[in-house]
Amino acid sequence: QSILLFFSSKKSGGFGGMFGMLKGLVGSKSLTREDMEPVLEKMKDHLIAKNVAADISSKLCDSVAIKLEGKVMGTFTTVASTVKQALQGSLVQILQPKRRVDILRDVMDAQSQRRPFVITFCGVNGVGKSTNLAKISFWLIENGFTVLIAACDTFRAGAVEQLRTHQRRLNSLHPPEQHGGRPVVQLYEKGYGKDAAGIAMEAIAYARNQTFDVVLVDTAGRMQDNTPLMTALAKLIAINMPDLVLFVGEALVGNEAVDQLVKFNQALADHSMSEKPRLIDGIVLTKFDTIDDKVCDNGVL
């Protein structure tokens, strides 16, 4: 959507900018790939210059070529309209998730089964896992659910205290007296240096016994080439089988966030002891307030 808006904006030159290069395709004969190649190359360069990732630019141009090949374009307006439709269709296909992610509905499904819905957060160091876990906690309690935060970052100094601060502030926004005297957010922690997989297991069992709706599992930041930490994360996921595994990446790095996710997911698979390892289900992009249009075209795509 951001790309299509950019194409039609005055800042980018509108038709004179992006679509102006398509004027050469107007004519009476049916279009061939050879006819379109020079225009498609210019279009690809234009997209890359505007911070669209190179592989996404290639996919978009290929989709345009498929739509135009063999057609007769009598007017410039027809060409522009066809290209817009091709771009929109390609963007929808690229952004279409492979699995349905509807957390609120999934939490209610888990409620009907009398069990907590479990989400595990993972990612590299310093991207904002704990902070965004707190934001998601707020969103969940705003929707009427109770949350147990499992402090499974037993490595970073201050990680447990950070979560305790978030818990206190969240409960001040939703005081226990407004919810039958029960805090809507609680923290399950066992200190530092303990086995993260074991703490997660205990937290999930506690949440089931105390009828919490959601368990949010915070894990330590780690690089994908850190074998001991990746093995520990694979163990945590394999033992506890969370409903959702979310990779937290920062929007600031643009398309590098996608590369990080792919490498992290592969490392998770490599360090798993299962033939069918439980891998990452989705990405949470953080720090949107520090960047411009780069993430909209690069990071998401």
- The domains of the chain are located at 2-95, 103-297
The pLDDT assigned to 197 comes to 95
pLDDT digits (tens, 9 = 90+) for 126-179: 888 999 999 999 999 999 999 999 999 998 999 999 999 999 999 999 999 988
CATH class of 103-297: alpha beta
Specify the pTM. 0.77
Mean pLDDT, range 4-18, rounded to an integer? 46
Strand segments (E) across 139-207: 147-152, 185-188
Highest mean pLDDT among 66-80, 109-123, 221-235, 265-279: 109-123
Task: Give 228 or 296, the one with higher predicted confidence.
Answer: 228
Distance CA 200, CA 187 (A): 12
- pLDDT band at 196, cuts 50/70/90? very high
Mean pLDDT, range 269-283, rounded to an integer? 85
Mean pLDDT, range 111-129, rounded to an integer? 94
Task: Give 84 or 238, the one with higher predicted confidence.
Answer: 238
Residue 301 pLDDT greater than 80, yes or no: no
Distance CA 19, CA 85 (A): 13
Distance CA 85, CA 68 (A): 11
The pLDDT assigned to 14 comes to 43
The pLDDT assigned to 296 comes to 47
Task: Give 46 or 245, the one with higher predicted confidence.
Answer: 245
pLDDT digits (tens, 9 = 90+) for 224-275: 888 888 999 999 999 999 999 999 988 877 777 778 888 888 988 888 877 7
Which pair of tokens denotes residue 207? 């949440």
Task: Give 12 or 51, the one with higher predicted confidence.
Answer: 51
The pLDDT assigned to 130 comes to 94
The pLDDT assigned to 13 comes to 45
14: region left, alpha or beta (phi > 0 left; psi from -120 to 50 alpha): left
Lowest mean per-residue pLDDT among 106-120, 230-244, 283-297: 283-297
Kind of pairing, strands 185-188 and 244-250? Answer: unpaired
Distance CA 79, CA 265 (A): 41
Return the axis-axis angle of helices 54-68 and 76-95, rounded to nearest 10°: 130
Contact criterion met (CB below 8 Å) for 121 and 216: yes
Percent of the chain, pLDDT > 90?
40
CA dihedral 283, 288, 294, 298 (to 10 degrees): 10
State the architecture of 2-95 in CATH terms: Up-down Bundle (1.20)
| Rounded (5°) CA angle 35-38-40 | 95
As to burial, measured by CB atoms within 10 angstroms (0-12 exposed, 13-18 middle, 19+ buried), residue 1 is exposed
As to burial, measured by CB atoms within 10 angstroms (0-12 exposed, 13-18 middle, 19+ buried), residue 246 is buried
The pLDDT assigned to 121 comes to 96
Contact criterion met (CB below 8 Å) for 123 and 249: yes
DSSP class of 22 = G
Q: Do domains 2-95 and 103-297 have the same CATH topology?
A: no
Which pair of tokens denotes residue 124? 């590299």
Residue 1 pLDDT greater than 60, yes or no: no
- pLDDT band at 283, cuts 50/70/90? confident
Give the C-alpha distances (Å, rounded to integers) separating 145 from 48, 57, 103.
43, 41, 11
Residue 86 pLDDT greater than 90, yes or no: no
